[in-house]
Amino acid sequence: MPRQARLDAPGLLQHVIARGIERRKIFKDDHDRENFLTRLALILEETQTQCYAWALIPNHFHLLLCTGLTPLSKVMRRLMTGYAVTFNKRHKRSGHLFQNRYKSIVCEEDPYLLELIRYIHLNPLRAGLVKDLKELDKYPWTGHSAIMGKRKNSLVPYPSSKNKQEKPEKYMAEKTIEEVLLQFGDKLREARRRYRHFVKQGVDQGSRPELQGGGLVRSAGGDKRALLRRKREERELSDERILGSGDFVSNVMKDANEVLDQTAKFNISLDELISRVCAKFEIRVKDLVSKSRKRYLSQARGVVCYLAVDELGYSGDNVARSLRISGRGVSDCRERGKKILDKPEIIGEYLA
């Protein structure tokens, strides 16, 4: 069954998680971590994407992002592809670095912003990378220490020599920390004290399943039994890609045009996608939609199906009609395309 399309729209708060393939390390040393953060800082500033919280764990990372006009998918493609290339070159390796696609959960800001900031920043403590909150205050590989003012803000980019004159009055990363602290008070010292107390209260809360579960389980605070006790008409609209109330889920899906159609995030129509794939494979559209089972045509159909459903968000029915195949055929072709497009940079060749 094809995965659901990503939800994306300017201003959405999203909790992003990406893991190393086979749970392998994606950060082997501080040089890797610094490289990742330098790249992230530049991308965030260039795309005017806010990062409210972040944590680097040896085999995965967490980001809490609020996108501007640049889609999250483009931000993450630049980040993960660029980092993977650098990591592989430095460590003399090849192949996948990350496990499948990154996971992104759209979050309702009012009830969940501060909860997620705390949850993400406590990850190094839960993972045993630091022994206590005092050590976390100065730990360089999570955003907590920057909010506390104990370390420099790693998400502030270093301007190059040629564009130093273009330095803004205040970087996006600096504005974001100010925004977080304003949730705790107008005076800096008092806001930091209250923020730290808030984080301390979360130390004993554990893994917080209500921040990780899917759909309705989140609305029930992680308690499936409470969910099952509800009358059917009382159950909120839910979606496993969204953390929030039923009304929020409904509004997000409406904004993402999911109810009426599956609008492509990159403004690439199915016809345009098919034309691009045909050009890459040097075939004619009429051959692609024919009944022929020649290997190169099957591969091209696979690429179209994977990109259309998994990357652009079109429904399987729409793709089936365009390629003149069955819904089951789309599913089979998608799996074939997934194997062909085994690296983010290859996907970018079709969608850039």
For residue 7, give the 3-state DSSP assignment. Answer: coil
Bigger pLDDT: 229 or 58? 58
**Strand pairing of 103-107 and 13-19?**
antiparallel
276 contact partners, CB below 8 Å, separation of at least 6: 268, 350
- The most confident of the ranges 63-77, 236-250, 252-266 is 63-77
Please, what is the average pLDDT of the chain? 82
- Domain 270-351 in CATH: superfamily? DnaA protein, C-terminal DNA-binding domain (1.10.1750.10)
**Confidence (pLDDT) at 47:** 92
Q: Are 107 and 53 a contacting pair, CB within 8 Å?
A: no
**Confidence (pLDDT) at 252:** 63
| Terminal alpha carbon distance of the chain | 26
Of 9-18, 66-75, 313-322, 339-348, the least confident: 339-348
Share of the chain above pLDDT 70, in %: 76
Q: Are 238 and 3 a contacting pair, CB within 8 Å?
A: no
Of 98-102, 130-134, 248-252, 267-271, the least confident: 248-252
Bigger pLDDT: 159 or 93? 93
Residue 3 has pLDDT above 80, yes or no: no
The CATH number of the structural domain formed by 13-206 is: 3.30.70.1290
Bigger pLDDT: 14 or 222? 14
Distance CA(105)–CA(18), nearest Å, equals 12
The residue extents of the domains of the chain are 13-206, 211-255, 270-351
Q: What is the pLDDT of residues 167-188, one digit of tens each?
A: 778 899 999 999 999 999 999 9
Of 34-43, 160-169, 340-349, the least confident: 160-169
Q: What is the pLDDT of residues 244-302, one digit of tens each?
A: 666 666 666 665 554 334 334 456 888 889 999 999 999 999 999 998 999 999 999 99
Distance CA(107)–CA(242), nearest Å, equals 6
**Confidence (pLDDT) at 347:** 74
Distance CA(299)–CA(336), nearest Å, equals 7
